[in-house]
Amino acid sequence: MDTYMTIELTFTNNAFNAKATITPDTSIKEKSFSFILNNNLHISEITCNGKKVDFKKVAEETPEFRSTCQCIKIDSKENINNIEINYSGTIAFTFSNGTGSCWHNIITKDIKSLSWYSVWFPQKTSIAINHDKVIITDGNELFVVKGIFNESQNTWEYGGKGYDPFNIVAYRKEALQTISNEYMNIYFIDDKIAEQAETSSAIYKEVIDFFNGDLFRKIDIPVLDIACASPAILIGGGYRRRDFMWCTTLGNNDTETAWLNAHETAHVWCSGANPATWEDWLNETTAEWAALLFALSKKDTALFDFIINPKLERCHTLPPIKTADGSRPPGVHDKGTVLFYEMYKKFGEESVRVAVRTFTDLQEKNTQSFLETLACNGHDEIAAFINKGVYPCCNSAYPNN
């Protein structure tokens, strides 16, 4: 089935206006529709099949990793063939009392950064969307990372590429700076990032040489586009989706730059476990240890210590890896990394290489499959050691989780 959502997006200096048009597959016969949207955005009008319809906010919710949302429902007297949602407002990243809102989102004169985390577009739609597109108007003053410029329409088109649909980073052309080589393009507006960018491009080549075909199976690595948000956002980490990476800066020094490149690039391989549950420890532990193995390969003690020491300091304050309710625990990046560090000290570097490679090659990415595969491949000691760390109160070898 083919259900489309196209969003026409117009920016001001600190806000936006949007119209989301949803066209369900002709085989779908639905007379109601629901979705969630950032609670700070104002919905001015919704039409169904060309007619204005009433809508109601039925609840509020805060989904995992995302901002607080309004839950909207509409009802139609006839089958829904077309929906238009007109809305507007602003979103901005905040971080207070340990709780973030609108992660990685900001709208300023020089940079517009919108992502899935803020729920700036309709999500959890009751009719599943499988084709997406964003059309950004008044595009001649902007450069949109991963976008395609339509000169005749003066618009940018984005979406449908398989990584975080509706993840928009747009720079004002007059402010934009770019550093490029055969491996990556780095986009930024902060003069302080220029030196970081030169360092990052060199380190990224070293990371790829070590990861691709040495630590991990060899794959085709496309050119990486990195969007930097500094000085608009200075905290909040970063993330990578296929050949796109978002970050605040590229690191305050060479060591931090190396860690950022190694950890985020490792997620090309170190992914697939459910990130909304405790199983995310697999994604983050293996990515962090890929970075640590990169440090060991370079005999870079400063990088190794930069990664592991803060985790050793925090580890004793953190809850167990596996939570009773299956939720994602605080410190998911740290507890598993320290567990593997203890394994590294007990069994040596090769034990960690085996564990990391085993996870990345799994068909079913969860802890039970991970441990069973290690044991089946003759790595019983490694499997038993990890099992004890993940299930400290369980005597059975590989419990159902």
Q: What is the DSSP string of 67-119?
A: --EEEEEEE-SS--S-EEEEEEE----EEETTEEESTT-EE-SSEEEE-GGGT
220 plus 334 within the same structural domain: no
Q: For residue 25, tell me if it sits in a domain.
A: yes
Q: For residue 398, tell me if it sits in a domain.
A: no
28 plus 148 within the same structural domain: yes
pLDDT average, residue stretch 72-96: 90
Select from 266, 290, 318 the last residue of a domain: 266
Task: Give tens-digit pLDDT for 98-157.
Answer: 456 788 899 999 999 999 989 999 999 999 998 889 999 988 999 999 999 999 999 999
> Which whole-number Å values give the CA distances from 179 to 130, 187, 194, 261, in the listed order?
34, 7, 8, 16
User: What's the confidence (pLDDT) of residue 143?
Assistant: 96
CATH code (residue 186):
1.10.390.10
Q: For residue 395, tell me if it sits in a domain.
A: no
User: What's the confidence (pLDDT) of residue 395?
Assistant: 47
Task: Give tens-digit pLDDT for 203-216.
Answer: 999 999 999 999 99
Do 178 and 187 contact (CB within 8 A), yes or no? yes
71 plus 15 within the same structural domain: yes
Q: For residue 125, tell me if it sits in a domain.
A: yes
122 plus 59 within the same structural domain: yes
Select from 266, 300, 321 the last residue of a domain: 266
25 plus 127 within the same structural domain: yes
pLDDT-derived band of residue 89, with 50, 70 and 90 as boundaries? very high
Do 185 and 226 contact (CB within 8 A), yes or no? yes
Q: For residue 136, tell me if it sits in a domain.
A: yes
335 plus 370 within the same structural domain: yes
pLDDT average, residue stretch 293-310: 97
pTM across the whole model: 0.81
Q: For residue 401, tell me if it sits in a domain.
A: no
pLDDT average, residue stretch 160-167: 67
Number of domains in the chain: 3
50 plus 190 within the same structural domain: no
Do 184 and 224 contact (CB within 8 A), yes or no? yes
Domain that residue 75 falls in: 4-165
Select from 266, 290, 306 the last residue of a domain: 266
232 plus 145 within the same structural domain: no
CA-nearest of 251, 252, 257, 286 to 365 is 286
pLDDT average, residue stretch 345-369: 97
CATH code (residue 40):
2.60.40
262 plus 315 within the same structural domain: no
Cα–Cα distance measured from residue 144 to residue 400, given in angstroms and rounded to the nearest whole number: 46
pLDDT higher than threshold 50 for residue 97: no
138 plus 195 within the same structural domain: no
pLDDT-derived band of residue 363, with 50, 70 and 90 as boundaries? very high
Q: For residue 271, tell me if it sits in a domain.
A: no
160 plus 183 within the same structural domain: no
Query: Environment class of residue 99 by beta-carbon count within 10 Å: exposed (0-12), middle (13-18) or buried (19+)?
Result: exposed
Residues 6+ apart with CB under 8 A from 195: none
User: What's the confidence (pLDDT) of residue 306?
Assistant: 97
Residue 48 phi/psi, 5-degree rounding, is: -130, 120
182 plus 63 within the same structural domain: no
Type of residue numbered 4: Y
Q: For residue 172, tell me if it sits in a domain.
A: no
pLDDT-derived band of residue 1, with 50, 70 and 90 as boundaries? confident
